[in-house]
C-alpha cells in the first residue's frame, strides 16, 4: 500500500511539474498554433517512441535474468571505485548544509523524472521546430539505457552509502518510503555508470543544442541537471566516478543520437548522407516562432 501511495504521489508530481515546464517553455500562443497538427507529429515520432518504450520494457522484464548473470560473472568493482576517489562522497556530505537535504531529495526523486518527461513534451508541443530534437532525445535515451544495462549486467557495484560507514543514506533516512519505489525499478548494484547523471546530461546536451529556439528550456534543463547530478553523490547513492562516467555517456549519447537521426532523416528523404558530419546544424528560428 505504501508503494502504491508513493508511486501515485510521485507520478502526479511529475505530471504536474512536466506540464507546467512545457507550458512555460513553449508558451500558450505557440501551443495554440500547433495543436491542430498533433496527429501528424505523433505518427512521425511513433517509431522512435515505440523503440524507446520497447527497450525500456525489455530492460525491466529481463532484470531478474541480468541480476543472475551479474552474480555468476561476479565482477565486483566497488573496491576499485573506492581506490579511485576514497572518501570524496563523505567529504561532500559533510560540506553540504543539512538544510539542502529536502531540495536534493526532491531533485533526485522528482526533478530527474521531470527532466525526462518535460524534454519530450516541450519538443512535441512546439511543432515541427521541436520534432528533430525530440527524435534526438529519444535515441539518446535508448543509447543510455543500452550501455547502462550492459554495464550493470557486467559489473557488481555498491554505492558509497552501502560501502562506507562515513556516508549516510540520506534519501532513505529523510523519506524512507522511496526505498520501495527505487527497489522496484532498479537493483542496488546498479551503480556504474550513474544513469541519473547520464540521462540528465543527455537532456541538457540536447537542450543546449536547441537553446536558440527554446532558451527557457535550456536554462531549466541545465539547472535541473546540475541539481540532480549533485544529489546522486550528496545522498550517498553514487560515487563521483559513477557520475563522471555517466556524464560522458550522456554527452556522447546526445552527440551520437544527433548523427543517427540525421542519417535516418536523410535516407527517408532520399538524400545522400554527409560523409564528414552526420549532425545537422540547428535551423534558424522562423519569425513568430518564439
Domain coverage including residue 2: 1-27+67-269
Q: Is residue 263 part of a domain?
A: yes
Q: Is residue 221 part of a domain?
A: yes
pTM value is: 0.85
Which residues, listed in sequence order, are joined to residue 76 by a DSSP beta bridge?
Answer: 156
pLDDT in 10s for each residue of the chain, 290 residues: 466 766 777 778 888 888 888 888 887 777 666 666 777 888 888 989 999 999 988 888 888 888 889 888 889 999 999 999 999 999 999 999 999 998 998 899 889 999 999 999 999 888 767 889 999 999 999 999 999 999 999 998 899 998 888 888 877 776 666 665 565 556 667 889 999 999 999 999 999 999 988 999 999 999 999 999 999 999 999 999 999 999 999 999 999 999 999 998 888 777 655 544 444 444 444 433 43
Q: Is residue 32 part of a domain?
A: no
pLDDT score at 7: 72
pLDDT score at 271: 62
pLDDT score at 3: 60
Count up the domains in the chain and report the number. Answer: 1
Q: Is residue 287 part of a domain?
A: no
pLDDT score at 35: 65
Q: Is residue 46 part of a domain?
A: no
Q: Is residue 53 part of a domain?
A: no
pLDDT score at 81: 94
Q: Is residue 289 part of a domain?
A: no
pLDDT score at 178: 63
Q: Is residue 283 part of a domain?
A: no
pLDDT score at 125: 85
Identify the residue whose cell numbers are 543472475.
Answer: 68
Radius of gyration, alpha carbons of the chain:
20
Amino acid at each position: 500500500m505504501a508503494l502504491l501511495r508513493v508511486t501515485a504521489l510521485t507520478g502526479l508530481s511529475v505530471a504536474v511539474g512536466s506540464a507546467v515546464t512545457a507550458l512555460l517553455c513553449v508558451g500558450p500562443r505557440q501551443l495554440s498554433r500547433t495543436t491542430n497538427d498533433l496527429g501528424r507529429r505523433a505518427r512521425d515520432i511513433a517509431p522512435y517512441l515505440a523503440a524507446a518504450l520497447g527497450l525500456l520494457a525489455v530492460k525491466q522484464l529481463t532484470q531478474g535474468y541480468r541480476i543472475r548473470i551479474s552474480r555468476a560473472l561476479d565482477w565486483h568493482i566497488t573496491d576499485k571505485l573506492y581506490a579511485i576517489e576514497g572518501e570524496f562522497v563523505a567529504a561532500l556530505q559533510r560540506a553540504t548544509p543539512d538544510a539542502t537535504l529536502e531540495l536534493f531529495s526532491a531533485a533526485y526523486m522528482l526533478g530527474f523524472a521531470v527532466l525526462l518527461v518535460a524534454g519530450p513534451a516541450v519538443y512535441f508541443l512546439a511543432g515541427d521546430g521541436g520534432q528533430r530534437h525530440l527524435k534526438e532525445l529519444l535515441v539518446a535515451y535508448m543509447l543510455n539505457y543500452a550501455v547502462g544495462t550492459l554495464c550493470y549486467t557486467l559489473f557488481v557495484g555498491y554505492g558509497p552509502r552501502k560501502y562506507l560507514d562515513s556516508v549516510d543514506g540520506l534519501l532513505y533516512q529523510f523519506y524512507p518510503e522511496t526505498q520501495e519505489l527505487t527497489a522496484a525499478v532498479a537493483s542496488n548494484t546498479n551503480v556504474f555508470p550513474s544513469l541519473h547523471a547520464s540521462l540528465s546530461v543527455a537532456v541538457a546536451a540536447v537542450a543546449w543544442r536547441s537553446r536558440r529556439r527554446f532558451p527557457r528550456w535550456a536554462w531549466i534543463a541545465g539547472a535541473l541537471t546540475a541539481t540532480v547530478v549533485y544529489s546522486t553523490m550528496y545522498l550517498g547513492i553514487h560515487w563521483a566516478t559513477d557520475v563522471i562516467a555517466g556524464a560522458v555517456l550522456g554527452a556522447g549519447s546526445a552527440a551520437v543520437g544527433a548523427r543517427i537521426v540525421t542519417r535516418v532523416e536523410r535516407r527517408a528523404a532520399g538524400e545522400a548522407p554527409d560523409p564528414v558530419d552526420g549532425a545537422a546544424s540547428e535551423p534558424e528560428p522562423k519569425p513568430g516562432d518564439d
